[in-house]
Structure 1
Amino acid sequence: MSVPLLDVRDLVVRYGTVTAVDRVSFSLDAGETLALNGPSGCGKSSTALAVLQLRRPDSGRVRLEGQELTGLSDDELRPLRPRMQPVFQDPYGSLSPRHRIRDAVAEPLKVQGRWGPDGPARVAELLDLVGLGPSYGDRRPHELSGGQCQRAGIARALASEPRLLVLDEPVSALDPSVRAGVLNLLSDLRDELGLGCLFICHDEAVVRHFADRVVRMRDGRIVTDEG
Protein backbone atom coordinates (compact mmCIF):
# COMPACT_ATOMS: atom_id res chain seq x y z
CA MET A 1 0.00 0.00 0.00
CA SER A 2 1.17 3.54 -0.76
CA VAL A 3 1.98 5.87 2.11
CA PRO A 4 -0.43 8.83 2.50
CA LEU A 5 0.97 12.29 1.95
CA LEU A 6 -0.39 13.28 5.38
CA ASP A 7 -1.41 10.89 8.13
CA VAL A 8 -2.87 12.24 11.39
CA ARG A 9 -3.70 9.85 14.22
CA ASP A 10 -5.36 10.52 17.60
CA LEU A 11 -4.38 14.20 17.58
CA VAL A 12 -5.02 16.09 20.82
CA VAL A 13 -4.54 19.84 21.35
CA ARG A 14 -5.30 21.48 24.68
CA TYR A 15 -5.33 25.09 25.79
CA GLY A 16 -5.14 24.91 29.55
CA THR A 17 -8.13 22.86 30.66
CA VAL A 18 -9.91 23.18 27.29
CA THR A 19 -9.48 20.34 24.77
CA ALA A 20 -9.69 22.01 21.37
CA VAL A 21 -8.84 18.88 19.35
CA ASP A 22 -9.91 15.54 20.76
CA ARG A 23 -8.37 12.39 19.21
CA VAL A 24 -8.73 13.51 15.59
CA SER A 25 -7.57 11.10 12.86
CA PHE A 26 -7.54 11.41 9.07
CA SER A 27 -5.27 10.92 6.07
CA LEU A 28 -4.72 12.81 2.82
CA ASP A 29 -3.16 11.71 -0.47
CA ALA A 30 -1.17 13.74 -2.97
CA GLY A 31 -3.48 15.41 -5.47
CA GLU A 32 -6.42 15.28 -3.04
CA THR A 33 -8.27 18.06 -1.23
CA LEU A 34 -9.59 17.16 2.22
CA ALA A 35 -11.84 19.74 3.89
CA LEU A 36 -12.18 20.17 7.63
CA ASN A 37 -15.63 21.65 8.00
CA GLY A 38 -17.61 22.78 11.00
CA PRO A 39 -18.75 25.79 13.03
CA SER A 40 -16.45 28.38 14.54
CA GLY A 41 -14.60 26.99 17.56
CA CYS A 42 -14.93 23.34 16.53
CA GLY A 43 -11.15 22.79 16.37
CA LYS A 44 -10.48 23.15 12.62
CA SER A 45 -7.76 25.79 12.84
CA SER A 46 -6.15 24.21 15.90
CA THR A 47 -5.91 20.98 13.92
CA ALA A 48 -4.27 22.85 11.03
CA LEU A 49 -1.75 24.53 13.34
CA ALA A 50 -0.88 21.15 14.87
CA VAL A 51 -0.40 19.60 11.42
CA LEU A 52 2.01 22.42 10.57
CA GLN A 53 3.68 22.02 13.98
CA LEU A 54 3.08 25.72 14.63
CA ARG A 55 1.18 24.56 17.71
CA ARG A 56 2.71 21.39 19.09
CA PRO A 57 0.02 18.78 19.85
CA ASP A 58 -0.31 17.43 23.37
CA SER A 59 -0.47 13.89 22.02
CA GLY A 60 -1.06 11.98 18.82
CA ARG A 61 0.88 11.59 15.62
CA VAL A 62 1.43 13.64 12.46
CA ARG A 63 3.32 12.04 9.58
CA LEU A 64 4.25 13.74 6.31
CA GLU A 65 5.14 11.29 3.52
CA GLY A 66 5.70 8.68 6.20
CA GLN A 67 8.01 10.83 8.31
CA GLU A 68 7.01 11.46 11.91
CA LEU A 69 6.88 15.18 12.75
CA THR A 70 5.68 15.13 16.35
CA GLY A 71 8.55 14.98 18.76
CA LEU A 72 11.08 16.57 16.42
CA SER A 73 13.00 19.57 17.67
CA ASP A 74 12.74 22.93 15.92
CA ASP A 75 16.12 22.32 14.29
CA GLU A 76 15.00 18.90 13.05
CA LEU A 77 11.75 20.36 11.70
CA ARG A 78 13.39 23.26 9.85
CA PRO A 79 14.43 21.32 6.70
CA LEU A 80 10.96 19.71 6.55
CA ARG A 81 8.91 22.90 6.76
CA PRO A 82 9.22 23.80 3.05
CA ARG A 83 7.28 20.62 2.26
CA MET A 84 4.15 21.92 4.05
CA GLN A 85 3.12 25.53 3.56
CA PRO A 86 0.17 27.53 4.89
CA VAL A 87 -2.14 29.96 3.11
CA PHE A 88 -3.97 32.05 5.69
CA GLN A 89 -7.36 33.74 5.79
CA ASP A 90 -6.21 37.38 5.74
CA PRO A 91 -4.51 38.07 2.39
CA TYR A 92 -3.09 41.38 3.60
CA GLY A 93 -1.99 40.24 7.04
CA SER A 94 0.14 37.41 5.62
CA LEU A 95 2.38 39.84 3.68
CA SER A 96 4.54 42.64 5.07
CA PRO A 97 3.12 46.04 4.04
CA ARG A 98 6.68 47.36 3.70
CA HIS A 99 7.84 44.81 1.12
CA ARG A 100 7.14 44.73 -2.58
CA ILE A 101 5.40 41.60 -3.78
CA ARG A 102 8.50 40.34 -5.57
CA ASP A 103 10.46 40.53 -2.30
CA ALA A 104 7.74 38.66 -0.40
CA VAL A 105 7.76 35.85 -2.97
CA ALA A 106 11.57 35.77 -3.02
CA GLU A 107 11.93 35.57 0.77
CA PRO A 108 11.43 31.77 1.09
CA LEU A 109 14.04 31.17 -1.62
CA LYS A 110 16.53 33.35 0.24
CA VAL A 111 15.78 31.90 3.68
CA GLN A 112 16.16 28.35 2.35
CA GLY A 113 19.45 29.16 0.60
CA ARG A 114 18.03 28.61 -2.89
CA TRP A 115 18.41 32.17 -4.20
CA GLY A 116 20.76 32.51 -7.15
CA PRO A 117 21.17 34.33 -10.46
CA ASP A 118 17.92 32.81 -11.73
CA GLY A 119 16.01 33.99 -8.64
CA PRO A 120 14.27 36.96 -10.29
CA ALA A 121 13.15 34.75 -13.17
CA ARG A 122 11.78 32.21 -10.68
CA VAL A 123 9.80 34.94 -8.89
CA ALA A 124 8.34 36.08 -12.23
CA GLU A 125 7.44 32.45 -13.03
CA LEU A 126 5.64 32.04 -9.70
CA LEU A 127 3.67 35.26 -10.18
CA ASP A 128 2.64 34.10 -13.64
CA LEU A 129 1.65 30.70 -12.23
CA VAL A 130 -0.92 32.34 -9.94
CA GLY A 131 -2.29 34.67 -12.62
CA LEU A 132 -0.31 37.80 -11.76
CA GLY A 133 1.92 39.40 -14.38
CA PRO A 134 5.54 40.26 -13.51
CA SER A 135 4.58 43.93 -13.14
CA TYR A 136 2.70 43.04 -9.94
CA GLY A 137 6.06 42.29 -8.36
CA ASP A 138 6.76 46.02 -8.14
CA ARG A 139 3.65 46.68 -6.06
CA ARG A 140 3.07 46.56 -2.33
CA PRO A 141 0.15 44.71 -0.73
CA HIS A 142 -2.00 47.83 -0.28
CA GLU A 143 -1.85 48.38 -4.05
CA LEU A 144 -3.50 45.02 -4.75
CA SER A 145 -7.08 43.84 -4.35
CA GLY A 146 -7.85 41.15 -1.81
CA GLY A 147 -7.95 38.47 -4.49
CA GLN A 148 -4.67 39.62 -6.03
CA CYS A 149 -3.03 39.73 -2.62
CA GLN A 150 -4.19 36.18 -1.86
CA ARG A 151 -2.73 35.05 -5.19
CA ALA A 152 0.57 36.63 -4.16
CA GLY A 153 0.39 34.74 -0.86
CA ILE A 154 -0.15 31.50 -2.79
CA ALA A 155 2.87 32.30 -4.99
CA ARG A 156 4.93 32.83 -1.84
CA ALA A 157 3.80 29.45 -0.47
CA LEU A 158 4.66 27.74 -3.77
CA ALA A 159 8.19 29.19 -3.75
CA SER A 160 9.14 26.47 -1.25
CA GLU A 161 7.95 23.75 -3.68
CA PRO A 162 5.68 22.19 -1.03
CA ARG A 163 3.96 18.84 -1.20
CA LEU A 164 1.15 19.94 1.16
CA LEU A 165 -0.79 23.21 1.29
CA VAL A 166 -2.72 23.96 4.48
CA LEU A 167 -5.45 26.40 3.44
CA ASP A 168 -7.04 28.06 6.47
CA GLU A 169 -10.23 29.79 5.27
CA PRO A 170 -8.35 31.09 2.19
CA VAL A 171 -11.37 32.74 0.52
CA SER A 172 -13.62 33.71 3.44
CA ALA A 173 -12.19 37.27 3.56
CA LEU A 174 -12.65 37.80 -0.19
CA ASP A 175 -15.57 39.32 -2.05
CA PRO A 176 -17.93 36.66 -3.41
CA SER A 177 -17.12 37.80 -6.95
CA VAL A 178 -13.46 36.77 -6.64
CA ARG A 179 -13.77 33.62 -4.51
CA ALA A 180 -14.45 31.32 -7.44
CA GLY A 181 -11.37 32.57 -9.27
CA VAL A 182 -9.07 31.83 -6.33
CA LEU A 183 -10.66 28.41 -5.75
CA ASN A 184 -10.29 27.54 -9.43
CA LEU A 185 -6.64 28.60 -9.26
CA LEU A 186 -6.05 26.34 -6.27
CA SER A 187 -7.76 23.44 -8.07
CA ASP A 188 -5.57 23.95 -11.13
CA LEU A 189 -2.40 24.14 -9.03
CA ARG A 190 -3.38 21.00 -7.12
CA ASP A 191 -3.82 19.08 -10.37
CA GLU A 192 -0.79 20.55 -12.14
CA LEU A 193 1.65 20.18 -9.25
CA GLY A 194 0.17 17.10 -7.57
CA LEU A 195 -0.34 18.95 -4.30
CA GLY A 196 -2.28 17.70 -1.33
CA CYS A 197 -4.58 20.36 0.16
CA LEU A 198 -5.89 20.42 3.72
CA PHE A 199 -8.75 22.91 3.39
CA ILE A 200 -10.16 24.56 6.52
CA CYS A 201 -13.59 26.02 5.76
CA HIS A 202 -16.92 26.66 7.47
CA ASP A 203 -18.84 27.42 4.26
CA GLU A 204 -20.80 24.39 3.00
CA ALA A 205 -21.16 25.74 -0.55
CA VAL A 206 -17.42 26.39 -0.87
CA VAL A 207 -16.63 22.94 0.52
CA ARG A 208 -18.92 21.24 -1.99
CA HIS A 209 -17.28 23.17 -4.84
CA PHE A 210 -13.67 22.54 -3.91
CA ALA A 211 -13.13 19.45 -1.74
CA ASP A 212 -12.79 15.81 -2.77
CA ARG A 213 -13.60 14.62 0.74
CA VAL A 214 -15.10 16.31 3.80
CA VAL A 215 -14.37 15.68 7.47
CA ARG A 216 -16.91 17.42 9.69
CA MET A 217 -15.94 18.49 13.19
CA ARG A 218 -17.86 19.55 16.27
CA ASP A 219 -16.53 20.30 19.76
CA GLY A 220 -13.03 19.20 18.79
CA ARG A 221 -14.07 15.81 17.41
CA ILE A 222 -14.75 14.32 14.00
CA VAL A 223 -18.45 13.56 13.64
CA THR A 224 -18.49 12.42 9.98
CA ASP A 225 -15.91 11.55 7.32
CA GLU A 226 -17.56 11.79 3.90
CA GLY A 227 -15.84 10.45 0.80
Structure 2
Amino acid sequence: MPLLDVRDLVVRYGAVTAVDQVSFSLEPGETLALNGPSGCGKSSTALAVLQLRRPESGEVHFEGRELTTLPESDLRPLRPRMQPVFQDPYGSLSPRHRIRDAVAEPLKIQGRWNADDGPARVAELLDRVGLDPAYGDRHPHELSGGQCQRAGIARALASDPRLLVLDEPVSALDPSVRAGVLNLLADLQDDLGLGYLFICHDRAVVRHFADRALEMRAGRISSPQPGSS
Protein backbone atom coordinates (compact mmCIF):
# COMPACT_ATOMS: atom_id res chain seq x y z
CA MET A 1 0.00 0.00 0.00
CA PRO A 2 1.42 3.41 -0.92
CA LEU A 3 2.09 5.85 1.90
CA LEU A 4 0.37 8.54 -0.18
CA ASP A 5 -1.94 8.07 -3.15
CA VAL A 6 -3.35 11.19 -4.85
CA ARG A 7 -6.04 10.75 -7.48
CA ASP A 8 -7.42 13.36 -9.90
CA LEU A 9 -6.73 16.27 -7.53
CA VAL A 10 -8.29 19.63 -8.41
CA VAL A 11 -7.62 22.87 -6.50
CA ARG A 12 -9.29 26.13 -7.49
CA TYR A 13 -8.96 29.72 -6.31
CA GLY A 14 -12.16 31.32 -7.52
CA ALA A 15 -12.22 30.93 -11.30
CA VAL A 16 -8.53 29.93 -11.46
CA THR A 17 -7.69 26.21 -11.53
CA ALA A 18 -4.31 25.88 -9.80
CA VAL A 19 -4.19 22.06 -9.79
CA ASP A 20 -5.92 20.18 -12.59
CA GLN A 21 -6.49 16.40 -12.35
CA VAL A 22 -3.15 15.62 -10.70
CA SER A 23 -2.44 12.00 -9.71
CA PHE A 24 0.63 10.35 -8.18
CA SER A 25 1.65 7.93 -5.45
CA LEU A 26 4.50 7.82 -2.95
CA GLU A 27 5.92 4.75 -1.25
CA PRO A 28 7.25 4.64 2.33
CA GLY A 29 10.90 5.71 2.43
CA GLU A 30 10.71 7.28 -1.05
CA THR A 31 11.36 10.85 -2.19
CA LEU A 32 9.02 12.04 -4.94
CA ALA A 33 9.69 15.50 -6.35
CA LEU A 34 7.20 17.85 -7.94
CA ASN A 35 9.33 20.03 -10.19
CA GLY A 36 8.29 23.06 -12.16
CA PRO A 37 8.31 26.87 -12.42
CA SER A 38 6.69 29.26 -9.97
CA GLY A 39 2.92 29.33 -10.28
CA CYS A 40 2.61 25.84 -11.78
CA GLY A 41 0.60 24.43 -8.85
CA LYS A 42 3.29 22.65 -6.82
CA SER A 43 2.62 24.38 -3.51
CA SER A 44 -1.16 24.21 -3.98
CA THR A 45 -0.78 20.47 -4.43
CA ALA A 46 1.24 20.28 -1.22
CA LEU A 47 -1.40 22.24 0.72
CA ALA A 48 -4.13 19.95 -0.57
CA VAL A 49 -2.15 16.83 0.36
CA LEU A 50 -1.84 18.18 3.91
CA GLN A 51 -5.52 19.21 3.87
CA LEU A 52 -4.46 22.75 4.73
CA ARG A 53 -6.53 23.67 1.69
CA ARG A 54 -9.44 21.45 0.81
CA PRO A 55 -9.44 20.44 -2.87
CA GLU A 56 -12.36 21.09 -5.17
CA SER A 57 -12.40 17.40 -6.11
CA GLY A 58 -10.22 14.31 -6.19
CA GLU A 59 -8.90 12.01 -3.48
CA VAL A 60 -5.92 12.02 -1.11
CA HIS A 61 -5.25 8.62 0.46
CA PHE A 62 -2.74 8.64 3.32
CA GLU A 63 -1.82 5.29 4.87
CA GLY A 64 -4.95 3.90 3.25
CA ARG A 65 -7.37 6.54 4.54
CA GLU A 66 -9.12 8.95 2.22
CA LEU A 67 -8.67 12.41 3.73
CA THR A 68 -10.75 14.78 1.64
CA THR A 69 -14.10 13.63 3.03
CA LEU A 70 -13.00 13.56 6.69
CA PRO A 71 -14.21 16.27 9.07
CA GLU A 72 -11.52 18.16 10.94
CA SER A 73 -12.24 16.18 14.10
CA ASP A 74 -11.20 12.99 12.29
CA LEU A 75 -8.27 14.64 10.53
CA ARG A 76 -6.77 15.97 13.75
CA PRO A 77 -5.30 12.66 15.00
CA LEU A 78 -3.79 12.03 11.53
CA ARG A 79 -2.08 15.41 11.15
CA PRO A 80 0.96 14.55 13.32
CA ARG A 81 1.87 11.79 10.84
CA MET A 82 2.15 14.19 7.88
CA GLN A 83 4.16 17.31 8.59
CA PRO A 84 5.26 20.27 6.46
CA VAL A 85 8.67 21.92 6.20
CA PHE A 86 8.28 25.30 4.56
CA GLN A 87 10.48 27.42 2.31
CA ASP A 88 11.04 30.35 4.67
CA PRO A 89 12.94 29.09 7.72
CA TYR A 90 12.27 32.29 9.66
CA GLY A 91 8.63 32.72 8.70
CA SER A 92 7.75 29.17 9.76
CA LEU A 93 8.74 29.82 13.40
CA SER A 94 7.27 32.45 15.71
CA PRO A 95 9.82 35.24 16.30
CA ARG A 96 8.54 35.57 19.88
CA HIS A 97 9.26 31.96 20.87
CA ARG A 98 12.59 30.44 21.76
CA ILE A 99 13.64 27.52 19.61
CA ARG A 100 13.08 25.03 22.43
CA ASP A 101 9.47 26.24 22.79
CA ALA A 102 8.85 25.99 19.05
CA VAL A 103 10.11 22.39 19.00
CA ALA A 104 8.11 21.53 22.14
CA GLU A 105 4.87 23.04 20.84
CA PRO A 106 3.70 20.00 18.82
CA LEU A 107 4.28 17.74 21.83
CA LYS A 108 2.15 20.03 23.98
CA ILE A 109 -0.63 20.38 21.42
CA GLN A 110 -0.78 16.60 21.00
CA GLY A 111 -0.86 15.99 24.75
CA ARG A 112 2.52 14.25 24.72
CA TRP A 113 4.46 16.76 26.80
CA ASN A 114 5.83 15.63 30.12
CA ALA A 115 7.66 18.17 32.26
CA ASP A 116 10.06 15.50 33.51
CA ASP A 117 11.36 14.24 30.16
CA GLY A 118 10.04 16.83 27.70
CA PRO A 119 13.14 19.08 27.80
CA ALA A 120 15.35 16.05 27.17
CA ARG A 121 13.19 15.14 24.16
CA VAL A 122 13.61 18.65 22.74
CA ALA A 123 17.38 18.46 23.27
CA GLU A 124 17.43 15.07 21.52
CA LEU A 125 15.53 16.46 18.53
CA LEU A 126 17.86 19.45 18.20
CA ASP A 127 20.88 17.18 18.39
CA ARG A 128 19.36 14.90 15.77
CA VAL A 129 19.18 17.73 13.23
CA GLY A 130 22.75 18.86 13.97
CA LEU A 131 22.04 21.74 16.34
CA ASP A 132 23.69 22.19 19.70
CA PRO A 133 20.83 21.84 22.26
CA ALA A 134 22.05 25.11 23.78
CA TYR A 135 20.59 26.81 20.70
CA GLY A 136 17.18 26.03 22.18
CA ASP A 137 17.56 29.15 24.32
CA ARG A 138 17.80 31.37 21.24
CA HIS A 139 15.13 33.07 19.13
CA PRO A 140 14.89 32.43 15.37
CA HIS A 141 16.54 35.76 14.48
CA GLU A 142 19.61 34.67 16.43
CA LEU A 143 20.17 31.69 14.12
CA SER A 144 21.42 31.51 10.54
CA GLY A 145 18.99 30.46 7.82
CA GLY A 146 20.39 26.94 7.74
CA GLN A 147 20.22 26.60 11.52
CA CYS A 148 16.66 27.91 11.55
CA GLN A 149 15.61 25.41 8.88
CA ARG A 150 17.16 22.61 10.94
CA ALA A 151 15.07 23.80 13.89
CA GLY A 152 11.98 23.67 11.66
CA ILE A 153 12.83 20.09 10.72
CA ALA A 154 13.25 19.23 14.42
CA ARG A 155 9.81 20.69 15.06
CA ALA A 156 8.33 18.52 12.31
CA LEU A 157 10.05 15.41 13.69
CA ALA A 158 8.57 16.01 17.16
CA SER A 159 5.28 14.56 15.89
CA ASP A 160 6.89 11.25 14.80
CA PRO A 161 5.61 11.69 11.22
CA ARG A 162 5.65 9.17 8.40
CA LEU A 163 5.42 11.82 5.64
CA LEU A 164 7.22 15.14 5.31
CA VAL A 165 5.96 17.59 2.71
CA LEU A 166 9.06 19.64 1.89
CA ASP A 167 7.98 22.83 0.14
CA GLU A 168 11.14 24.34 -1.38
CA PRO A 169 13.07 23.56 1.85
CA VAL A 170 16.46 24.77 0.59
CA SER A 171 15.62 27.43 -2.00
CA ALA A 172 15.89 30.27 0.56
CA LEU A 173 19.27 29.07 1.85
CA ASP A 174 22.74 30.08 0.78
CA PRO A 175 24.25 27.57 -1.68
CA SER A 176 26.95 26.76 0.85
CA VAL A 177 24.43 25.38 3.36
CA ARG A 178 21.94 23.71 1.00
CA ALA A 179 23.97 20.52 0.72
CA GLY A 180 24.16 20.17 4.49
CA VAL A 181 20.37 20.40 4.89
CA LEU A 182 19.77 17.97 2.01
CA ASN A 183 22.27 15.53 3.51
CA LEU A 184 20.49 15.83 6.86
CA LEU A 185 17.14 15.04 5.21
CA ALA A 186 18.67 12.04 3.43
CA ASP A 187 20.12 10.71 6.70
CA LEU A 188 16.80 11.17 8.50
CA GLN A 189 15.01 9.30 5.74
CA ASP A 190 17.45 6.40 5.98
CA ASP A 191 17.14 6.27 9.78
CA LEU A 192 13.38 6.77 10.12
CA GLY A 193 11.95 5.45 6.85
CA LEU A 194 10.22 8.75 6.08
CA GLY A 195 8.45 9.45 2.82
CA TYR A 196 9.15 12.85 1.26
CA LEU A 197 6.98 14.86 -1.11
CA PHE A 198 9.65 17.29 -2.31
CA ILE A 199 8.48 20.53 -3.92
CA CYS A 200 11.28 22.12 -5.92
CA HIS A 201 11.92 24.25 -8.98
CA ASP A 202 15.64 23.42 -9.30
CA ARG A 203 16.18 20.43 -11.57
CA ALA A 204 19.79 19.96 -10.45
CA VAL A 205 18.64 19.58 -6.83
CA VAL A 206 15.87 17.22 -7.92
CA ARG A 207 18.29 15.00 -9.85
CA HIS A 208 20.56 14.82 -6.80
CA PHE A 209 17.92 14.29 -4.13
CA ALA A 210 14.77 12.65 -5.48
CA ASP A 211 14.10 9.00 -6.29
CA ARG A 212 11.45 10.04 -8.82
CA ALA A 213 10.28 13.37 -10.18
CA LEU A 214 7.16 14.67 -11.89
CA GLU A 215 7.16 17.83 -13.96
CA MET A 216 4.27 20.24 -13.38
CA ARG A 217 3.15 22.83 -15.90
CA ALA A 218 0.04 25.00 -15.59
CA GLY A 219 -1.45 22.83 -12.88
CA ARG A 220 -0.93 19.50 -14.64
CA ILE A 221 1.64 16.72 -14.50
CA SER A 222 3.36 16.99 -17.86
CA SER A 223 6.00 14.26 -17.77
CA PRO A 224 8.16 12.14 -15.46
CA GLN A 225 11.71 13.34 -14.90
CA PRO A 226 14.75 11.39 -13.75
CA GLY A 227 15.64 11.40 -10.06
CA SER A 228 18.73 10.29 -8.19
CA SER A 229 18.02 6.55 -8.42
CA RMSD of aligned residues (A): 0.7
Question: Which of these residues, 22, 25, 36, is aligned with residue 23 of structure 2?
Answer: 25
1:130 offset after TM fit, Å?
A: 0.1
List aligned pairs for 1:124-143, cutoff 5 A: 124-143=123-142
Which stretches in structure 2 are left out of the alignment for 5+ residues? none
* Matching of residue 224 in structure 1 with residue 195 in structure 2: no
Structure 1 residue runs of 4+, over 6 Å off? none
Does 1:79 find its partner at 2:77? yes
Specify the alignment match of 2:107 in structure 1.
109
- Specify the code of the residue in structure 1 equivalent to 2:178: R
Secondary structure at the residue paired with 1:14?
strand
Alpha-carbon distance, 1:163 to partner: 0.3
Q: Which residue of 2 aligns with 1:186?
A: 185
* % same residue: 84
Q: In the alignment, what sits opposite 2:199?
A: 200
Supply the distance in 2 between the matched residues of 1:111 and 1:154 (Cα, whole angstroms).
Answer: 17
Q: Aligned pairs, how many? A: 225
Cα separation, 1, equivalents of 2:22 and 2:92: 27
Compute the TM-score of the two structures, normalised by the length of structure 1: 0.98
Per-residue CA deviation, residues 72-94 of structure 1 (Å, 9 max, x unaligned), is: 11111110000000000000000
Partner SS for 1:142: helix
What is the CA distance between 1:225 and its match in structure 2?
Answer: 2.2
Residues in 2 aligned to 1:170 and 1:149: alpha-carbon distance in whole angstroms: 11
Deviations 1:93-112, CA, capped at 9 Å, x for gaps: 00011111000000000000
Matches within 5 A, 1:23-102: 23-102=21-100
Distance 2:204 2:69 in 1: 37
SS of residue in 2 equivalent to 1:79: coil
Once residues 21 and 182 of structure 1 are traced to their aligned partners in structure 2, the CA distance between those partners, rounded to angstroms, is 29
Following superposition, the deviation at residue 118 of structure 1 comes to 1.0
User: Which digits, 9 at most, give the CA deviation of each residue in 1:37-94, with x for residues without a partner?
Assistant: 0011110000000000000000000011101101111111110000000000000000
Structure 2: distance between partners of 1:226 and 1:141 = 36
Q: Which runs of 5+ in 1 are unaligned?
A: none
Matches of 1:176 and 1:226, distance apart in 2: 23
What is aligned with 1:167? Answer: 166
